[in-house]
Structure formats: structure tokens, C-alpha cells
Structure 1
Amino acid sequence: MSLTSALNTAQSIFNNTGTQSSVVSNNISNAGNKDYVRRQAMLTTSLNGAQVVKIDRAQEEALLRQYLKTSSQDSAQQTLLSGLEDLKSIVGGNDYETSPSTYLGVFQQKLQAFRTTPGSTVAAQGAITAAQDVANSLNNASQSVQNVRATADKQIATDVDKLNTLLSDFEKANNAVKTATSSGADASGALDEREKALKQISQIVGVNTTTRDNNDMVLSTSDGTILFETIPREVTFKSQDVYTATIAGNSVYVDGVALPRGSGSTTTGQGSLQSLLQVRDEIAPNFQKQLDEVARGLVSLFKEQNTVAGPAYVPGLFTWSGGTVDTGATAVAGMAATITVSSRVITSQGGDPMRLRDGGINLTGLVLNTSGASGYTTELDRLYTALGSDIDFDPAAGTPVGFDATTGIDSNVSIMEFATNSLGWLEQYRSNATTAAENTSAALSRSDEAYSNETGVNLDEELTLLLDIEQSYKAATKILNAVDEMLKSLLDIAS
């Protein structure tokens, strides 16, 4: 080996180790950054020796696609579970202390006590107070359900704004990737930024990726709607400030195409948006319908027959803003929000609680207890028996456009059983969603671990590589020292 060749070899080693150490140092400094993908300086050997030809990024497209899928699924499932937990809190949590079912049970007990002592004003007042508690629980539950819908609506608006911002960030990163790729420059930094935006997008909406020339990427939603192609597609949504049982929420549009909502306790949704739509437009309205049917059942069960003129029946103990009695099986949207106890039996409002025993609550002149006997129980017996008798509930009617058409529970049971089944429906849905959320969380954790193992920074490996680079540097130093000694010897001979 000539001295010139030796010097060239040493210079090549110094150049290579300098680049390699820079790459390794950058890897080590980003060891805790989950959005950083490991780099490696790739060497090749030619007649001029070894040299760094490119900086390679540890990309794993298959694992990335799997991560994006599990990320979308877990985000959707966790969002659904959160909405169900909010609905559960409406009825008082695990013991359902504030549920209409609980208050109905107390009312039934108070009505039984009044039957036992029909001449007791205290017992009558106890039954009326329990009835007021039932009405209040339905009012509060109905309002809370609509608050859940309104909260979901606001979160949808927030997620849509965030999604549009992320698509804008994705566009900038994608353009940087295309420019670097086409010019042969290192695109690693831009690829990291693009992947970071992509991961966040997958949490909001399910996303599929397609890579074209110059590493250009196209995004579409899980149902095939284009989300990004050269430029971001517009995602639009019009939020609503107030919700009632008769108001349907607006759709989210991706490039003019409505985003479908998820369905089922193990939701079919991908990303938080579809689950928020599911909570707002399916689950909460279903629960609202069940509350409305409890209210309708109470008005119907406690109705009074009008033997003088039409209508044939009028509300008795329980009434509502509509002031009518539906003798069929037709749901009335929002009825639970306005159900009340008639003022004609409330003492503080000038009423007489004994009207519950004697009849004529809202029909002037109607008196069932014509003798005024303190032991009269015929009407109380009828009402108590009615609470335990099967009635027809509406399984699929009166639902606003865009809402699920069924209550989701049995439609021919007693009002006590219907109210209990409503809680069972919610709890079963939540329980299944909890199990599914645990599964999606575990799947995401495994996908994240698999992807990190292939693309993340391992400090032990990087430090080992740094030691190898140090040995190469020392070898180059020895070559340089040897050349230096030879040159000195030649100079000494020449002098």
C-alpha cells in the first residue's frame, strides 16, 4: 500500500465515522421520542474504499399500517365507552340511585302503604311525594341525556377542526418528503413529521394509505372516501348548541361524503368521530326513547276516564306538556322531559292528595269514592295492580329521522320491568363495550410494541455501534500515525 493510498483510506474512515457518529448521536438523543424512526448510515465498498452512500430510515410499512388500524379501533372503542360511562352516571352509577327505576320502586312501595292505610293523609302525601320524585328523575335524566348529546356534538366539532389542522400539517410534510425524495436528499425528518401527523389522524378517523412516485402519499377513510390527495380534502361539520329529543344532529362530511357512524357495543367505527356520532345519534336517543316510554306508560296507567265528553281519557296523577293520553303504543319524543305530577294533588299548590284515592284529579265532578269512605281502596288497588301489569310499549315508532328506530328492549312488559330492563340494556351495552375496549387497548399495545421494536431506538444497540465507530476511528488514527512516521523517516533520509 502506497502512502497516498494509506492517506486516502484514513481520510475515508474519518469521513465515514464522522457521519456515522452523527447519525448514532441523533438516534440516542431521540431515544424517548415515539415519533422518531431510527436512522442508519449505509456503507458501500468501492475501489476508493468504504464510503457512506445514504442515510437509511428503518421503515416498516406493514407494521405501520397495522398500528394505524389498531389505533383507530382503540380510539373509537374508548370514545364509545366514555359516552356510555357518561350515560351510566345519569342513573347514579353502579347502584342506580337516581334512576327512574329506583324511584318507581319507591313509588310502588308508597302506593302500597297508602292502600294499607287509605284514610291516612300522611300516607297519601308520601305517595304523592314519591310520584314527584319519579317525574323529577325522568326530567333530570332526559335533560342529562341531551347534555351528553350536546357534549358529543361539541367534541365532534373539536375533532373536525383538529383533523383539518392535521391534514394541513400532513400536506406540508408530504410536500417536503416529495421534494427531498426527488432531489436525492435525506427525507428522514420530513417522513417523521408526516408519520406523526398520520398517527394523530388515525385517532380521529380510520385511514388507509397509498404511496405513489417520489414517496407521495394518498389518504382515504376506512370506507374509501379520499381524505388527502396532493391537497387535503375539506372536512365539514355544523355544530348545534342545544339538543332536545326531537333534534337530530348534523353529519360530518369528508369531501362532501357523509361519514357513517359506528354501530354495536364492539363498535364498527374507526376513530373517535364515528363513535361520537354513534353516541349522539344512536345510543343516547335510544336511551331517551326508553325514558319517554316510561313517561308515556305512567301517563297512560294513571289516566282518568272521561264519561261526560271527549276526549275519552285525560291525564290523572301524571301529566305532561301535551296534556293528552295516548291509549295506543306510540312513543312521544321528549315526553320524559316534561312529565309532572298534577298540581291538583300537591298540597303546596292548593291540591288535595286524597284525590289519588277518590279520583277526579283532573276531571272536575268525577268522584269514584262517592260515599267519602276513609277505607275506600278500589282506585288505589287498580293503580297498584296496573304498575305490575303488562302494557304495550312502542318498539319502533315516533323516532326522528336519522335516529335508531327501536328502544332495544322488550315491548310488552310491566312499566316496572320496562324501567329495569332499560338499565339492563345500558349496563349490558356498557359491559360489552368495556370488554371490547380492553381488547382494542391490548391490540394497540402489541402493535405499538412491534412497531417500536423495528423502528425505535435501542440504546444498547446504539452504544455498541458507537464503540465500533470508535474502534474504526482509532484504526484510522493508527494508519495516520504510521504514515506520519514513514514521512518523517523519508525526510530524515533525504536530509
Structure 2
Amino acid sequence: MGLSSALSIANSGLATVSRAAELVSNNVANATVESYARKELALSPQTVGGQSAGVRVDGVLRAENAQATATRRQTAAEHGAAFVASNGRANLSALLGLPGEAGALASQMVAFEDALRAASNAPDSTSLLANAAQRAGDVVSKLNGISTQTSAVRVAADQSIAQQVETVNSSLKQIESINAQIRMRANSGDVTGLEDERQRLIDQISAIIPIRQMRRDGGDVALYTRNGAQLLDGSAKELGFTATPTITPDMTLAGGALSALTLNGRPVTVGTGAGQMDGGSLGAAFALRDEIAPGFNAQIDAIARDLAERFEAPGLDPTRAPTDPGLFTDAGALSAPASELGLAGRLRLNALADPAQGGAAWRLRDGLGAATPGPAGTSTLLTDSLAALAAPRLAPAGAGVAQRLGAADLAGEIAAQNYATAQRADQKTAFLAGQFDALRNLELAETAVDTDREMQNLLVIEQAYAANARVISTVDTLLRTLLEI
């Protein structure tokens, strides 16, 4: 080997170790950045005229494991969906409370029963009659509040959908731009930094919508949903959605009052569990808005209807005309099965028996149609009202309860069902969170930066640098010696 060849090899070695040291520095500096993947040099022998001429840097390799990443993204989507459902169900369950808890609907039903019982034992007590009317008003206020908050849960889900759609659209446009930059720089520079940013954006989308990533020529990636909808292949598609600021119980997607999801202007199915965009937090938000919360609303409407019908029973109050409402009204009118939707929000205490509305609590004892107070010692209507409230009765269909229960027991059973469902959803979310962490750790084991390993690589780089520098120094000494001869 000639001196010039040795010098060329040593120079290529110095250039290589210099680049390697730069990569080690970048790896260590970004070790805590989640979307950063470890970088390594791609090297190959360099020859001139069939003779070794050192080493050539072919590029920078980004550590990745496509299968591990795809599995982790799928689990991230499942966890995102479970979290939205769990959080929504927990919020709805909390509105009802559990029997025995202060402020729970079932507890307020029991308090109303107790107040009626106390009044029936002392029908001449104006304070006990007033307390019974107050407890009845508390039940009404609780149901009204639950209805309002259920609508608020739907509005929050609707707003979440709008935010997620905006995130997906923005991320898709950025990925389209990064794809273009990678194509332009594929043969002239390091694109691994762009690939890191692209992965971060894809990860962001994958928690919202489960996706499949496919490689294209030139370093591009194409994105499709797990159920086949194209999100990006060359150009980014656009999701469309319009938020609804106020949602009432009667507003539905099928009825056209709520916005559907579109892809490039075409409606797509989502929220059913099998739609093109289902499987992530977006689909779960649609399910919460269009299925879970309306189903819960149907249950509280059934409680309200059951309560109203108990006090509208023929013969309970002889002073009430059949066309007049009972103690609990549908916005002042007689309740009707055909108008059950939204009844919990419209339920009102009959003004005739409500002192707060100018009525008189003695009508609980003497009848809603009584013009004047009757005998103070008469407790028949109070006793019959108490019996009607506690009587086992088959709940309306929307309650989802097949048992025959009293009013308080019905509220307690529905509360228990919702609590159990919320607990199962929470357990599923916790399981998926653990599964996601495990899969993420497996992926990071292959793609993340190991600072100990990088420090070891740095020692090897230092040794290689010293060896190549020594070769150059030796060649320099030999050349000087030759020139001095």
C-alpha cells in the first residue's frame, strides 16, 4: 500500500468517525424525546481501481420495527376509545349517584317517601306537609339537573369530535408536506429527522383513528383506516364535521339535527363499532354522543314517566279530573307515553301543591282539585300516595329494567346498573393502558436510544479517531523523511 493510499484511507476514516460522533451526540441529546428513533450510520467499503480506499458513508439509518409500531398504534387506538367511553360512563353514573349517597336520586326518592310517611302519620302538621312538598321538589330538581348534565355530556362529546377532526386534518396535511420533503431529499441528504416528525404525527392520528401505514416509492407513506378508508395516498383527504353548540334530548344524528362525519365531502359511518372510522377515540366520541348518552337519557326519562304515572293513577286523587296532571307534570301538563323523550328535563311539581309556585302543601293531603283545606286529621290521600310511590310496578321500556320495583328501587337499580357498567369500562381502560405501556416498552427496546450503549460507541469512535490520526501522523513523518533525503 502506498503512502497516498494510506493517507486517503485514514482521511475517510476520520470523516466517518466524525460523522459517527455527531450521530452519538444527537442520539444522547434526544434520548428522552419519545418520537425520536436511534440513528446509525450505513457504511460500505470504498474502492479505487480495485484497491481499498477506505470507508464510505452511504447514509443514516433510523432504527424501527414496523410490526411493533403497528401493534402499539392499534392498542393506542383501543385505549383511546376505551378511555372516552369510560370517562363518559363515569360522568353519567355520577349524575345518578349510588343509593345511600347524599344527593343521589334514589336517596332523594327515599327522602320523599319518608316525608310522605311522616306527613301521613301527622296530617295536621303544616310543616310536615311543607317538607313533603319540598322533598318532591327536590326529586324534580334532581331529574331536571341530570337531564341538563346529560345534554352537557353530549355537547362535550360533540366538541371533542370537532377538535379531533381538526387534529387529524392538520396532521394529514403536515404528513403530506413531509412526504414531499422526503422525496426531494431522498438522494441528497439525511431525512431521518423528517421521518421522526412524520412518525409523531402518525402516532397522533392513530390514537384517534386506527390506521394502516404503507410504504410508497421515494420514502412516501400512505395511510388508510383499519376498516379501509383512505386518509392519505399522495394527497391528504379531509374530514368534515360541524359542531353543535346546544344539544337537547330530541336531537339525533338520524334526524339530521346533529352533524355526521364526512370524508372529502362524503358521509362515512362512525360510532357504530363497525364504521370506517371506528376503533379509536373519534368513534368512541360519536358513540357517546349518539348512543351511550341518549341511552342513559332514556333511562332517566323512564324514571320520570314512572314517577308521574304513579300519581296519575285513576282513583288515587278523587279531586283530580282525568285530563288534569297529577303531582308530577310534563311542563304543567298530563304526561303521555308518546312524549316520554326528554321528560326528565320537563318534569315539574304541580304548582297547585307547591308553595314555591303559589300553591298550597295541604293539597297533598286533601287533593289537587280541592278548593279549600279539608279535615286536618284525614290521611287517606297521603297514605295512598305513599303506597303508590312504593308499589312494585313494571318500569317503562326505556328503563332497561324488567323487574317490578317501587320508584326509589327503580332509581337505585338503574344507578347500580350504570355504576357497574362504568366500573367495567374503567377496568377495560386500565387493562389497555397496561398493555399499551408493555407494547411501547417492547418497541422502545429496539428503537429508543440506550445512553450506555452510545457511550460505549463513543469510546470505539475515539479509538478509531486516534488510530486514523496516528496513520496520518505516521504518513506525514515518512513524507518529511523522504523529502529530507
Q: Shift in Å at residue 412 of structure 1?
A: 4.0
1:457 aligned residue (449, 460, 465): 449
Query: What is the distance in 1 between the residues matched to 2:185 and 2:400?
Result: 55
Q: Secondary structure at the match of 1:81?
A: helix
Q: Secondary structure at the match of 1:294?
A: helix
Match of 1:399 in 2: none
**Contact 1:104–1:134 (CA under 8 A) maintained in structure 2:** yes
Change in Cα spacing, 1:94 to 1:186, as seen in structure 2 (3 Å) is farther
Give the counterpart letter for 1:475 in structure 2: A
Q: Shift in Å at residue 379 of structure 1?
A: 2.0
Query: What is the distance in 1 between the residues matched to 2:175 and 2:164?
Result: 16
**Contact 1:38–1:457 (CA under 8 A) maintained in structure 2:** yes
Matched, 1:197 2:206: no
Matched, 1:127 2:132: yes
**Contact 1:79–1:276 (CA under 8 A) maintained in structure 2:** yes
- 1:45-60 equivalences in 2 (<5 Å): 45-46=45-46, 47-60=52-65
Match of 1:261 in 2: 271
Match of 2:36 in 1: 36
**Contact 2:97–2:415 (CA under 8 A) maintained in structure 1:** no
**Contact 2:262–2:268 (CA under 8 A) maintained in structure 1:** yes
- Identify which range, 50-59 or 425-434, moves more after superposition: 50-59
1:166 aligned residue (165, 171, 182): 171
**Contact 1:296–1:331 (CA under 8 A) maintained in structure 2:** no
Matched, 1:317 2:330: no
2:111 aligned residue (106, 110, 116): 106
**Contact 1:408–1:425 (CA under 8 A) maintained in structure 2:** no
| Cα deviations by residue, 1:127-166 (Å, 9 ceiling, x for unpaired) | 1110011111111111111111111111211111121111
**Contact 1:71–1:202 (CA under 8 A) maintained in structure 2:** yes
Give the counterpart letter for 1:3 in structure 2: L
Change in Cα spacing, 1:262 to 1:464, as seen in structure 2 (3 Å) is farther
Query: What is the distance in 1 between the residues matched to 2:318 and 2:399?
Result: 36
Match of 1:398 in 2: none
Give the counterpart letter for 2:268 in structure 1: A
| Cα deviations by residue, 1:170-227 (Å, 9 ceiling, x for unpaired) | 111122233333x364321221121111011112222122222223222122322111
1:476 aligned residue (468, 471, 474): 468
**Contact 1:37–1:59 (CA under 8 A) maintained in structure 2:** yes
Give the counterpart letter for 2:477 in structure 1: E
**Contact 1:317–1:342 (CA under 8 A) maintained in structure 2:** yes
Q: Secondary structure at the match of 2:232?
A: strand
Match of 1:236 in 2: 240
Match of 1:274 in 2: 283
TM-score, normalised to structure 2, is 0.90
Query: What is the distance in 1 between the residues matched to 2:201 and 2:124?
Result: 73
Match of 2:410 in 1: 418
Match of 1:334 in 2: 342
Give the counterpart letter for 1:325 in structure 2: S
Change in Cα spacing, 1:211 to 1:150, as seen in structure 2 (3 Å) is same
| Cα deviations by residue, 1:323-367 (Å, 9 ceiling, x for unpaired) | 1233xx6561111112111121123444222221222x1x467x9
Query: What is the distance in 2 between the residues matched to 1:19 and 1:175?
Result: 26
Matched, 1:436 2:445: no
Change in Cα spacing, 1:263 to 1:435, as seen in structure 2 (3 Å) is farther
Query: What is the distance in 2 between the residues matched to 1:240 and 1:93?
Result: 31
**Contact 1:321–1:338 (CA under 8 A) maintained in structure 2:** yes
Query: What is the distance in 1 between the residues matched to 2:341 and 2:356?
Result: 30
**Contact 1:330–1:394 (CA under 8 A) maintained in structure 2:** no
| Cα deviations by residue, 1:287-322 (Å, 9 ceiling, x for unpaired) | 211111111112111126489999735322111226
Please, what is the CA RMSD of the aligned residues? 2.6
Match of 1:283 in 2: 292
Match of 2:70 in 1: 65
**Contact 2:98–2:412 (CA under 8 A) maintained in structure 1:** no
Q: Shift in Å at residue 27 of structure 1?
A: 1.3
How many residue pairs get matched? 471
Q: RCO higher in 1 or 2 (8 Å CA, sep ≥ 6)?
A: 2
Query: What is the distance in 2 between the residues matched to 1:142 and 1:364?
Result: 32
Matched, 1:448 2:456: no
Give the counterpart letter for 2:212 in structure 1: N
Query: What is the distance in 2 between the residues matched to 1:116 and 1:322?
Result: 29
Match of 1:208 in 2: 212
Match of 2:3 in 1: 3
Q: Secondary structure at the match of 2:207?
A: helix
Matched, 1:136 2:141: yes
**Contact 1:259–1:274 (CA under 8 A) maintained in structure 2:** no
Give the counterpart letter for 1:334 in structure 2: G
Query: What is the distance in 1 between the residues matched to 2:132 and 2:273?
Result: 41
**Contact 1:305–1:314 (CA under 8 A) maintained in structure 2:** no
1:390 aligned residue (392, 397, 401): 392
Change in Cα spacing, 1:322 to 1:231, as seen in structure 2 (3 Å) is farther
Q: Secondary structure at the match of 1:88?
A: helix
Matched, 1:354 2:359: no
Q: Shift in Å at residue 390 of structure 1?
A: 2.7
Matched, 1:294 2:286: no
Query: What is the distance in 2 between the residues matched to 1:347 and 1:59?
Result: 72
Give the counterpart letter for 2:298 in structure 1: K
Query: What is the distance in 2 between the residues matched to 1:242 and 1:30?
Result: 45
Query: What is the distance in 2 between the residues matched to 1:59 and 1:236?
Result: 33
Give the counterpart letter for 2:310 in structure 1: L
Query: What is the distance in 2 between the residues matched to 1:383 and 1:251?
Result: 46
Give the counterpart letter for 2:322 in structure 1: A
Matched, 1:156 2:161: yes
Query: What is the distance in 1 between the residues matched to 2:241 and 2:327?
Result: 44
Any gaps of 5 or more consecutive residues in structure 2? 47-51, 253-257
**Contact 1:73–1:269 (CA under 8 A) maintained in structure 2:** no
Q: Secondary structure at the match of 1:204?
A: coil
Q: Percent identity?
A: 27
**Contact 2:153–2:293 (CA under 8 A) maintained in structure 1:** yes
Match of 1:378 in 2: 380
Query: What is the distance in 2 between the residues matched to 1:129 and 1:466?
Result: 78
